[in-house]
Amino acid sequence: MKKWYSNLTVGKLQLFALLFTANLLLAQENLKQEKETVEDITISYNTPFSYLFNPEVSWELANSNGELISSGKGDFADKVFDVPGSYILSVHENHVHTQGSCEHSQYPSKLNITVSDTKMKFDWSTLKFSKNIKGGQSAKGIVVTVNVHYSSARNENAVYEYGLKTAGVDTSVFGTLKNKTILKPGVNTLAFLLDGVAEKGNYMMLDFKDMNGQVQSYSLTQKIQ
C-alpha cells in the first residue's frame, strides 16, 4: 500500500512538472510573439509620414541594408521619404513593471515601411456626377468623374484599374472604371460607371483607391434625396 501511494505521488509530481513546463513554454512563446509584433505600411514617395508614440518610446529608422538613417524619442513626425524602397522602424517601449502587474506593448515592435515610387492624389474640387443619385432608385448609368494628380519617381506611366466603393447606411452603390486608364505624369481624369441603390435621407461616402491600394475618401455634403 505504501509503495502504491508513493508511485501515485510521484506520478502527480511528474504531471505537475509537465503542466508547469508547458505553461512556461506557452508564456514564453506569447511573450516572444508580443515582442515581435510587426506592422506593414505602404506610403508614396515624397509624402510626409507620421506615427504617434508616447514621449518615453525610442525608435531607430534603418534602410533595407540595415544602415541607420535616424533615431529619436517620442513621435515619429513628418518624415519625408524621397527615395522609394523598404525601410524598418524599430520601436522600443520602456515598461515599468510592478509586482503583480503585466503591462502589454502598446505599439508594434517594428514597422516595415514600403515607399512606393508612385504618387496619386484625388482633386475633390473636380468631382462630378452626370446626374444626381435618387433615393431608392438604381444608380445604374450614372457617371462619376474626378481628376487625379499622378507622379512617378521614374517618370513612368501606370495602369489604373480600381473601382470605387461607397459607405453609408443602406447603400449598395459601387462604381467600375468606364475605360481602361493609363495614368501619365500630371493631371488625369478618371470616370466610373455607378450601379446599386442608396436609400433616401442618408449620407454617403465615396471610397477611391490610389495606385498603392490606399483609400482616399470623399463625403457627400448633401443627403440622398
The pLDDT tens digits for 28-47 are 555 444 557 999 999 999 99
What CA–CA distance (Å, rounded) separates 115 from 44?
5
What CA–CA distance (Å, rounded) separates 173 from 196?
4
pTM: 0.73
Angle subtended at Cα 178 by Cα 151 and Cα 171, rounded to the nearest 5 degrees: 100
Nearest Cα to 163, choosing from 140, 138, 192? 192
DSSP one-letter string for 123-181? EEEEEEESS---TTSB-TT-EEEEEEEEEETT---EEE---EEEESTTB--EEEESS-E
Could you tell me if 127 and 207 are in contact, meaning their C-beta atoms sit under 8 angstroms apart? no
Kindly report, residue by residue over 93-146, the tens digit of the pLDDT: 976 554 544 566 789 999 999 999 999 999 999 999 999 999 999 999 999 999
Looking at residue 36, what is its pLDDT?
A: 75
What CA–CA distance (Å, rounded) separates 65 from 141?
51
